[in-house]
């Protein structure tokens, strides 16, 4: 009798569980399909093409997911979106994002609603800006009208190395054999100070030292040229004005110390321009003095 009673209880529990399961299922309204997210949602990808930045959501919107088609047609699986208080979200860990890439965004399925209707957008390339990671470094300055290298309708500028060269140790502007010898050129001083002159300055300083086969690691311009960040070999010591742009944008670039950095601009046979990054003051000093180096390259 006890065994029959036990079996009967098991049947009752099973039936009760089934009723609960069916009851919950009945709460899903097949007509309750959430609409696509409202508003104008925009998708942009930065130059490195490894993420998509979305904007235009309602502030701190929740319950959303997105799928990406890198090639514009073949979608991967949906993943949750985390929208911040500014209505922005980022899809990371991607590869090869391009102007043809598309994103579908929808409301996630819940216990009481079906998955929502998706909104599809095509992403666009984000405009380059100071502070962006790009071509082996950080964009330090965008050329403006009047700068050497400026091209109307195109974006060009300077890229700074992500860290100081020479492991952050200071180095002289010139070796002892040349610390009071002008850089050879008809003009005096030989090296320029303006935007767009740093690369030529570096070439001339290296040419002077090459006359005695001086190793590049022994002076500032040589250290800058030796840097190969991002696989590039066209790095140089910035001119006086180029170095000042690095100071102006030092926070966006990052990694600077509140000490002095060499420029590639000489001021006389024995002096060269440097900049103190604690307060931005530029001055000239003996070229045998030891200051830091931050290489740049143009794009």
Tell me the per-residue pLDDT of 104-150, one tens digit each, with 9 for 90 and over.
999 999 888 899 999 999 999 999 999 999 999 999 999 999 999 99
Task: Give the residue carrying structure tokens 């010898």.
Answer: 181
Q: What pLDDT, on a 0 to 100 scale, did the predictor assign at position 263?
A: 98
> Can you give the pLDDT at residue 48?
82
CATH superfamily of 42-125: Immunoglobulins (2.60.40.10)
Helix (H/G/I), strand (E/B), else coil: 203: helix
- Delimit the domains of the chain by residue range: 1-30, 42-125, 133-298
* pLDDT, position 262: 98
Q: What's the pLDDT score for residue 23?
A: 45
Q: Tell me, what's the pLDDT at 30?
A: 64
Burial of 25 (0-12, 13-18, 19+ CB in 10 A): exposed
Q: pTM of the prediction?
A: 0.76
- Predicted pLDDT of residue 82: 96
Model pLDDT for residues 271-294, shown as the tens digit of each residue: 999 999 999 999 999 999 999 999
Element of type H or E holding 226: helix 220-226
Please tell me the distance from the alpha carbon of residue 187 to that of residue 87, in angstroms, as a whole number.
56
So what's the pLDDT on residue 113? 87
- Where the chain has pLDDT below 70, the residues are 1-31, 186-190
């Amino acid at each position: 009798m006890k065994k029959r009673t036990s079996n009967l209880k098991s049947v009752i529990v099973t039936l009760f569980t089934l009723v609960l399961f069916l009851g919950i299922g009945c709460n899903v309204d097949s007509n309750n399909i959430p609409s696509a997210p409202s508003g104008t949602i925009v998708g942009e990808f930065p130059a490195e093409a490894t993420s998509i930045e979305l904007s235009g959501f309602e502030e701190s919107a929740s319950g959303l997911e997105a799928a990406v088609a890198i090639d514009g047609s073949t979608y991967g699986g949906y993943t949750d979106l985390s929208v911040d208080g500014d209505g922005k979200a980022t899809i990371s860990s991607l590869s090869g994002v391009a102007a043809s890439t598309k994103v579908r965004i929808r409301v996630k399925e819940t216990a009481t609603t079906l998955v929502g209707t998706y909104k599809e957008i095509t992403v666009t390339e984000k405009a380059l800006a100071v502070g962006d990671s790009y071509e082996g470094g950080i964009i330090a300055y965008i050329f403006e009208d009047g700068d050497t290298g400026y091209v109307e309708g195109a974006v060009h500028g300077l890229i700074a190395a992500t860290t100081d060269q020479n492991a952050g140790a200071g180095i002289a502007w010139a070796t002892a054999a040349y610390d009071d010898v002008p850089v050879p050129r008809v003009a005096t001083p030989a090296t320029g100070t303006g935007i767009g002159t740093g690369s030529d300055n570096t070439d001339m300083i290296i040419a002077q030292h090459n006359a005695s086969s001086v190793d590049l690691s022994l002076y500032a311009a040589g250290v800058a040229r030796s840097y190969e960040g991002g696989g590039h070999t066209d790095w140089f010591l910035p001119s006086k004005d180029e170095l000042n742009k690095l100071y102006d944008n030092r926070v966006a670039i990052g990694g600077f110390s509140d000490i002095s950095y060499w420029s590639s601009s000489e001021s006389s046979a024995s002096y060269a321009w440097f900049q103190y990054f604690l307060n931005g003051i530029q001055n000239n000093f003996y070229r045998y003095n030891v200051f830091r180096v931050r290489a740049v390259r143009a794009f």
